[in-house]
Structure 1
Amino acid sequence: MASARRVVVKVGSSSLTTAVGGLDANRLDELVDVLAARRLAGGEVVLVSSGAIAAGLAPLGMHRRPRDLPSQQAAASVGQGLLLAEYTRAFAGAGLTVGQVLLTADDVVRRTHYGNAQRTLERLLALGVVPVVNENDTVATHEIRFGDNDRLAALVAHLVRADALVLLSDVDAVHDGPPDRPGTRRIAHVAGPADLEGVTIGSTGAAGVGTGGMTTKIDAAEIAVAAGVPTLVTAAALARPALAGEDVGTWFSVPGTAVSATRRPSTRRLWLAHAATPAGRLVLDEGAVRAVSERRSSLLPAGVTGVSGTFGAGDPVELVDAFGHALARGLVNYSSDEVPDMLGRSTRELARQWGPAYERELVHRDHLVLLRPGARRA
């Protein structure tokens, strides 16, 4: 961590706001002091900051984060400007300029959007600017949301080829039980999933201004590690010793040798495996299970025996075996209205009946990712 040239730092809403939802300028200033020092020492910092919705609560007279999407979007619209203004002020005190980058899942999944986001971030860093990234809550819908800025930070770390990712919240580390329970110990190092077996993971904090919790931080760490980016989970109050490489928080290391840039998985595959919420399920017969899991083949209608959920063409779906075990996720080529009449039939037969547009796979192998056994679902 101490020698990492480019670091992505994510901070949660609970670390930036008061219990009633307003921004806490003192806490924000403390974080900016640490990040500015890193930048002025020659490092590169990308800040992924939650807090837009939380910052908009008090001005709108809301006492807790709203549950409905329009109210969340309204709060984000008010709060995003307040949040960026505070970052602009705080970083300006160190002579640094910030640039706002608002992203949706489409921006890191669709190839053209991905390239635009990558070029923008690279150019900002080359100009000495500190990018402040957030999910574009004012326009994001439930179908295209990352789900939490922890996952967004992991994908951004992959996008900018970061040397390390730091996830900051109000909890100092991953523990082997509830942190406030006597005798609970900090887990200092996670080298693989086995190190977290039997560990009870907490959820969203009591303040109710955030959306994540330790579960999403561990999910994000898994995404980053899969992309070759080691990750530290710790408290915002420990940001200074964390970035200095001191023994704080929980360090998720990349197994074996670091994954090279040429071997890193695509952001689309990372999103599908870890961050996308499946809109439906396709049940595969034994032959299709072998074709997908062993031969890495595309999924054809002939190998599907059942379908559930409501989805459109291009939506993520989960591929399961006859016992309901999830094998893979992929982007389906047809809607849930079309699929039932296609089950068990060859693409040639479908093309003869409905035209050449139906001589395609249900899920092409380029848009399909296998899930490791026991993986947590987003």
Structure 2
Amino acid sequence: MRIENLLDFRDIEKCPRLVIKLGSALLVHEDGELRHDWLRSVASEIAGARERGQEIIVVCSGAVALGAAMLGLPGGGRETLAHAQAAASVGQVFLIATWAQLLAEHGLVAGQMLLTLDDLEGRRRYLNASETLRELLARGAVPIINENDSIATSEIRFGDNDRLAARVAQAASAQGVLLLTDVEGLYDRDPAHPEAEFLPEVRGVTEEIHQMASGKSSSGKGSGGMTSKLLAAEIAERTGIALAIIKGVDDLPIACAMAANRGTLFLPKRDDNAWKSWIGGRLRFNGSIRVDQGCVEALQRGKSILAAGIIGVFGEFERGDVIKVEGPDGKMIAKGMIEYDWDECDAIKGLRSEEVAERLGHLPRACVIHRDHLVLL
């Protein structure tokens, strides 16, 4: 059984494991104080979900905003990287202590996980994170996850907790993700526009859908915006995970959204296996290859990438790296694990199979990227 509507996120048959993401704008008042009563109401909703047998993982922003207020930093702690890292360090202590207290009121134990991009991009560390999540859930704990902003730099950051939530859902084999924010969902244009139309359901995030979004955080506290939520939906939809954006400003926000049946539901397009889910969720790449139209059409028929179809090689990747695959126009069409180093790949691009061995001086591999290690977007 799959999630088919918003109410299914509370159905333990269709959604036995749920990821809930809370944005900074919901957690923190304008003066930098925590919305304690609101957070207590969320903790009670988590307790209710646990009572009906649903496992819950929380991805929670707010450490930087909280820490900035506590340290007296200007600009919400985001004027410099050093400010943000210091604010995160202080704010995270207060945030997790609050979660531990509020969950303890319901007899629940909080477990903290602070992640960077590298923790979910590298295969071994991804598996370690996945195993930790499973063990915490098996022991009855509620994992509270945030990006490790106290050490993260631009090179190793997700940059927003929306995509982090989608990647955590993949690692935890969750069925659903709820993104709580200060808007009730996706509109076809700026919600302030008098002709803006609300979209209750999206089946596949297209370029047209992306054009509807704003990349700015409406509150100024967070690092996301609707664009980051659509990117999260793209990660989820390739893995069989349903994702919904709901308005979370009121107390008991999930119950309010469900009662009103109001939110934007992104339904999954397919159900990749665990290996392809990890590849498809990758966000950072050391390089890319560009392929011709014939290769694009072959990929759509389920074929692998051969040297003959490659027209360009970019970056300095190594065998085993996950790289981008671009179509003739330079647009990314797939992600895949490469079988050659970049210089070998560059040397054999455009060559037929019988020519590859002569150019390399040794027997070639069956393909440049095998279809089993390739995810079409």
Indicate the residue corresponding to 1:231 in structure 2: 243
Count of aligned pairs: 360
In 2, are the aligned partners of 1:57 and 1:75 still within 8 Å (CA)?
A: yes
* Structure 2 counterpart of 1:159, from 171, 181, 185: 171
SS at match of 1:317: strand
1:135 corresponding residue in structure 2: 147
Q: Which structure 2 residues correspond to residues 191-340 of structure 1 after superposition, within 5 A?
A: 191-193=203-205, 197=209, 200-237=212-249, 239-241=253-255, 244=258, 246-254=260-268, 264-266=271-273, 269-270=276-277, 272-273=279-280, 276-286=283-293, 288-300=295-307, 303-309=309-315, 315-332=321-338, 340=346
Change (3 A) 1:245 1:115: farther
Structure-to-structure mapping, 1:28-67, within 5 angstroms: 28-60=39-71, 61-66=73-78
For residue 76 of structure 2, give the secondary structure of its aligned residue in structure 1.
coil
SS in 2 for 1:204: coil
Distance 1:39 1:231, change over 3 A: same
- Structure 2 length-normalised TM: 0.80
The match for 1:3 is 11
CA contact (8 A) 2:64 2:76 kept: no
What's the offset of the Cα at 1:303? 4.0
Q: What is the CA deviation profile of residues 94-121 of structure 1, one whole-angstrom value per residue up to 9, with x for unaligned ones?
A: 2221001223344444443333322222
Please name the residue that 2:158 is paired with: 146
**Post-superposition offset of 1:144:** 4.0
Q: What corresponds to 2:357 in structure 1?
A: 348
Match of 1:93 in 2: 105
2:116 counterpart of 1:104: yes
Identify which range, 151-160 or 237-246, moves more after superposition: 237-246
The gaps in structure 2 that reach 5 residues or longer are: 1-8
| C-alpha contact (below 8 Å) 2:339/2:365 kept by paired residues | no
3-state secondary structure, aligned to 1:90: helix
- The structure-2 alpha-carbon separation of the partners of 1:347 and 1:76, relative to structure 1 and needing over 3 Å to count, comes to farther
Deviations 1:121-168 (A, max 9, x none): 222222221111122334444344334221221222233332322110
Q: Answer whether contact 2:291 2:327 (CA < 8 A) is retained.
A: yes
2:228 partner SS: helix
Cα root mean square deviation, aligned: 3.4
Gap change, CA 1:273 and 1:44, over 3 Å in 2: closer
Maintained 8 Å contact 2:10/2:49: no
Please state if 1:23 is matched with 2:34. Answer: yes
d(CA) in 2 for partners of 1:285 and 1:254? Answer: 29
Q: Using a 3 Å threshold, how does the CA distance of structure 1 residues 231 and 292 change in structure 2: closer, same or farther?
A: closer
